[in-house]
Amino acid sequence: LAAATTAVAGRSFLSVLAQREARNPAFDFLKHTHAWFGYFMSLVGCYTQVLRPSEEAIARLQEAAGGGGQAALLRRAVHRLEHNRKEAAKKKAEEDDDADRLAYQAIDWGDFVVVETIDFVDD
């Protein structure tokens, strides 16, 4: 909650909060020397990116949301379908290979007995 509020209100809020809660051990992560301060600041950065996205991020989101019209949407859908089919085929091939490998390993090759020998005569 502190990270989200800091992202909205800015660094001045962080300074005021750190001064006000200086004696509260629950807010020790606001001190620059605390081990969790880096994590807290990365959360502030993430919240800031979500709340104030860059123009490039907005453009990518609009393109992903269908900014290219129906043709772009159809191209992405076909591409996704082809990718899913390839992944499914790859997974099936791996499963088949694993099944063959397990079947081969299940055979006790030392348990075989020679019953008879067949001699082939060349004419």
The tens digit of pLDDT for each residue in 80-119 reads 999 999 999 999 999 999 999 999 988 888 888 888 999 9
Return d(Cα 6, Cα 12) in angstroms, integer. Answer: 8
Q: How many domains does the chain have?
A: 2
Return d(Cα 8, Cα 109) in angstroms, integer. Answer: 70
27 contacts 17 by C-beta, under 8 angstroms: yes
Buried b (16+ CB within 10 A) or exposed e, 48-81: beeeeeeeeeeeeeeeeeeeeeeeeeeeeeeeee
Give the per-residue pLDDT at 66: 64
The answer to whether residues 38 and 79 belong to one domain is no
pTM of the predicted protein model:
0.45
Q: In whole numbers, what is the pLDDT of the chain averaged over residues?
A: 84
Tell whether 119 is covered by a domain.
Answer: no
CATH number of residue 45's parent domain: 1.10.10.790
25 versus 100: the higher-pLDDT residue is 100
Give the per-residue pLDDT at 87: 97
Tell whether 41 is covered by a domain.
Answer: yes
Tell whether 13 is covered by a domain.
Answer: yes
Structural domain including 2 reads 1-52
